[in-house]
Amino acid sequence: MASNTIGQVIRCKAAVAWEAGKPLVIEEVEVAPPQAMEVRLKILFTSLCHTDVYFWEAKGQTPLFPRIFGHEAGGIVESVGEGVTDLKPGDHVLPVFTGECKECRHCKSEESNMCDLLRINTDRGVMLNDGKSRFSINGQPIYHFVGTSTFSEYTVVHVGCVAKINPAAPLDKVCVLSCGISTGLGATLNVAKPGKGSTVAIFGLGAVGLAAAEGARIAGASRIIGVDLNSKRFNEAKKFGVTEFVNPKDHDKPVQEVIAEMTGGGVDRSVECTGSINAMIAAYECVHDGWGVAVLFGVPNKDDAFKTHPVNVLNERTLKGTFFGNYKPRSDLPLVVEEYMNKELELEKFITHEVPFSEINKAFEHMLRGDGLRCVIRMDA
């Protein structure tokens, strides 16, 4: 990395969202140097996740604009702030929307990845160190998004939200691991933990649901039942190990009953990826009594309530939730990258589009149309 930028303000291009739902505008922004426990990254590839679109639309939360979105990405460390010891300029990294301080009770627990200091905060648009943004245009602050803001050629991130990875890993592929794909994969492999030969139901066959299906395939599940309201998704889902498809609209009984009939009493494991409260309840009620485990990670509406009869719990069905697939970002993501490098995990099939940075709005159009899975954005194009 060129060292002449260290300690200096960098002027670069960023895609700025000036207001909710309006196309992003490529602007020249100023990116301040990293402060204590921060790193400045040169982003080489970023991809669009539904979470970016959700907060860009700003229909269900407090709008915060102008803002630089983006949180799935791969890049290289340009410079580090005071106190940063485990990263140096030139390191290849994945920035992550949640973090690992390595000091709090959650980070020290083998069971949790919900860091007290750095867990996701969608309302905060500034850095923790001083409560200020590192981005500005002509002196006007531009807000950060989930501590990453990767729709910029350079960004500043807390060191605890940066995973150092194998420099041989292709950043245009592994960038998708910094959010959705790891979330789905880990929900199955780390939390549901299906055994070889087991039956698994996956609710929601978008990119994250297909990552959950991929986890079931890797685990050796014999039947992977995909549940989705869009029957067109089944053909694509076969590439990820889905063996059967159920569209709840095709049946006149609850989908959990349909699945119970298909499987002789219920599946061994289910993973819910939609955020629909009905899907959450169905995912729980479709697992087999005695040993069935349901894992939820779709984000529900704030007024939703989960309702099921207590007998379902008494009959030894287990309900679990997960956040980012139970991966600790700094400790675990480098190992997931190695699984890809060892050909144990396929990522190419999740990437259905690629656009240059100048055409970033096309990525939003693809997602709004439900066209494909992940769109990777080349920052140097």
H or E element at residue 260: helix 255-263
63 in helix, strand or coil?
coil
Q: Is 179 a catalytic residue?
A: yes
Q: Is 124 a catalytic residue?
A: no
In the numeric block, which tokens belong to residue 70?
């983006």
Q: Which of 71, 223, 269, 317 is catalytic?
A: 71
Q: Is 107 a catalytic residue?
A: yes
Q: Which of 92, 353, 366, 374 is catalytic?
A: 374
Residue type, position 351, single letter: I
Strand 154-158 versus strand 38-47 pairing type: antiparallel
Q: Is 122 a catalytic residue?
A: no
Q: Which of 27, 38, 72, 285 is catalytic?
A: 72
Q: Is 272 a catalytic residue?
A: no
In the numeric block, which tokens belong to residue 295?
């894992």
- Cβ neighbors of 271 (< 8 A, separation 6 or more) are 184, 187, 188, 192, 200, 201, 202, 203, 209, 212, 215, 216, 283, 294, 295, 297
| Region of residue 42 (phi > 0: left; psi between -120 and 50: alpha; otherwise: beta) | beta
Yes or no: say if 377 and 47 are a contact pair by the CB < 8 Å rule. Answer: yes
Q: Which of 12, 101, 161, 273 is catalytic?
A: 101
Q: Is 50 a catalytic residue?
A: yes
Q: Which of 175, 179, 286, 375 is catalytic?
A: 179
Cα dist. 152→68, 172, 283, 345 in Å? Answer: 7, 16, 38, 28
Q: Which of 5, 12, 38, 49 is catalytic?
A: 49
Distance CA 97, CA 118 (A): 9
Q: Is 288 a catalytic residue?
A: no
Q: Which of 104, 122, 236, 318 is catalytic?
A: 104
Q: Which of 50, 308, 338, 365 is catalytic?
A: 50
Q: Which of 106, 119, 158, 330 is catalytic?
A: 119
Q: Is 51 a catalytic residue?
A: yes
Q: Which of 5, 12, 38, 115 is catalytic?
A: 115
Strand 199-203 versus strand 269-272 pairing type: parallel
Distance CA 53, CA 243 (A): 30
Which backbone phi and psi does 228 adopt, to 5 degrees?
Answer: -160, 150
Q: Is 12 a catalytic residue?
A: no
Q: Which of 12, 78, 107, 217 is catalytic?
A: 107
2 in helix, strand or coil?
coil
Q: Is 217 a catalytic residue?
A: no
Residue type, position 94, single letter: L
Instruction: Give the catalytic positions in this structure.
Output: 49-51, 71-72, 101, 104, 107, 115, 119, 179, 374
